[in-house]
Amino acid sequence: MFQLFRDGRPRTRASLVAATGQSRSTVAARIDALRAVGLLAPAGEASSTGGRPPSTFAFDPTSRIVLGVDLGASHARLAITDLAGEPIGVLQEPLSIADGPTHVLDWVAEAGSKVIAQAGRRVDELAGIGIGLPGPVDHTTGRPVNPPIMPGWDGTDVPAELFARLRAPVLVDNDVNIMALGEHRTVCASVDDLLFVKVATGIGAGVIMDGELRRGAQGAAGDLGHITVPRGSDIPCRCGNTGCLEAVAGGAALVADLRARGADVSSTSDVVDLVRAGDVAAGQAVRQAGRDIGSVLAASVSLLNPARIVIGGILSDAGEHLMAGIREIVYQRSLPLATQHLRIATTGAGAQAGVVGAAFLVTEQYLAAPSIDALIASAESA
């Protein structure tokens, strides 16, 4: 019955009886149970058709909070949200994932506690913690698996480590998966089939099909960055192979290319700054990166037939140079039927896609019917 309230609309007992087919006494008992665990609250009175106006009840998303964390190669973002995914506190700081799990997870716990306190909430109000990592993750265990840019993280039990620090359930996923989830839930909810492509230090994709995040058998779906592209046949990649898309078109590759041409760049953001300043060489390099990415996405379009491709990550801030290169190759190499209604655009959720997606990772599990039943049973037995 609670799932009917997820849309935020107030409902009366009579409307719930009609919608569920349950007796009035059963509906009343379940409303009482949901109010007892803080998920429902009175929402005033409905219009009367004669006699006393009936009371209405609505979902109360403020009863608990969620910590969403998005970790990149060199940055960390976190947000405190309510159970509807509305941010109530955010923080972003430079942080190197290569500093290792102890340092990074200590920062997450300390910074998360700080933002929770600043929002006037308590750590013991956490419904859970969602965290995205910039590498392959076994979603069933939350452990990174041979992550190329995360030295010291392989096999780390991230859920247990964070639970020991904050005493709240933890869900872990790949950073691009949570960005795809955040984009879909906040901007593209009406789009059932979507690819979210992050183009930054690395390159990866999150796959939304039939409205749901698809991870594949071991959680490795969407690893576009390590598909071979012809132009990079002899270029070594940090994964150990040669010719990977990431080694040719990722942020580190662009930095190396432009430095070899004499440009004063040391990071992906420097490349974006050069493009915005009108630097011709930087613009050409980013457009070629777009073409390389487009060659891999053209195959993805033929395989998955998405309705939308969303480009995020810091290089998406380089404007039309990257997007023009991607569109040029995708529309050139994909069949007309697959691209008939395809839209390729930059992210609408922006830099917050990851932290919001991490929060949704938690709320969608916390508010699922089995979890609600368990929550009520636990409260009744306490």
Q: 287 and 142 in one domain?
A: no
Kindly tell me if the per-residue pLDDT of 50 is higher than 60.
Answer: no
In CATH, what number is assigned to the domain containing residue 35? Answer: 1.10.10.10
CB 168 within 8 A of CB 122: no
Judged by DSSP in three states, 263 sits in: coil
Sign of CA dihedral 315, 318, 319, 325: negative
How far is residue 6 from each of residues 14, 164, 364, measured CA to CA in Å?
A: 18, 31, 11
More confident residue, 285 or 48: 285
Q: 315 and 272 in one domain?
A: yes
Residues 6+ positions from 172 with CB-CB distance below 8 Å: 130, 131, 132, 133, 137, 139, 142, 143, 158, 159
- Helices 251-260, 280-304: axis angle to 10 degrees equals 150
Sign of CA dihedral 307, 317, 198, 108: negative
Q: 216 and 266 in one domain?
A: yes
In CATH, what number is assigned to the domain containing residue 89? Answer: 3.30.420.40
Residues 6+ positions from 337 with CB-CB distance below 8 Å: none
pLDDT tens track for 15-29: 999 999 999 999 999
pLDDT tens track for 244-256: 999 999 999 999 9
pTM: 0.91
**How many folded domains does the chain comprise?**
3
Instruction: For residue 136, give its domain range.
Output: 63-179+353-381
Q: 290 and 216 in one domain?
A: yes
Across the beta sheet with 194-199, the strand order is 212-214, 203-209, 194-199, 308-312, 343-346
Distance CA 329, CA 326 (A): 6
pLDDT tens track for 151-169: 999 999 999 999 999 999 9
Q: 98 and 218 in one domain?
A: no
Q: 123 and 11 in one domain?
A: no
Q: 44-58, 142-156, 272-286, 364-378: lowest mean pLDDT where?
A: 44-58
Return the pLDDT at 46.
Answer: 63
The tokens 């009609």 sit on which residue?
A: 18
pLDDT tens track for 295-342: 999 999 999 999 999 999 999 999 899 999 999 999 999 999 999 999
Report residue 321: phi and psi, to 5°: -60, -50
pLDDT tens track for 348-357: 998 899 999 9
Q: 106 and 166 in one domain?
A: yes
Across the beta sheet with 170-174, the strand order is 87-94, 75-82, 65-71, 126-133, 170-174
Domain termination residue (choose one: 59, 74, 105): 59
Distance CA 305, CA 262 (A): 41
Q: 130 and 268 in one domain?
A: no
Q: 29 and 54 in one domain?
A: yes
Q: 219 and 361 in one domain?
A: no
Return the pLDDT at 79.
Answer: 96
Domain termination residue (choose one: 31, 59, 87): 59
CB 130 within 8 A of CB 171: yes
Report residue 55: phi and psi, to 5°: -75, 150
Cα-only R_g, the chain = 23
Confidence class of residue 280 from pLDDT cuts 50, 70 and 90?
A: very high
Q: 338 and 249 in one domain?
A: yes
Q: 199 and 244 in one domain?
A: yes
Kindly tell me if the per-residue pLDDT of 279 is higher than 60.
Answer: yes
Return the pLDDT at 139.
Answer: 85
* Average pLDDT of the residues in 102-129: 96
Upper half-sphere CA count for residue 12 (Cβ side, 13 Å): 11
CB 130 within 8 A of CB 359: yes
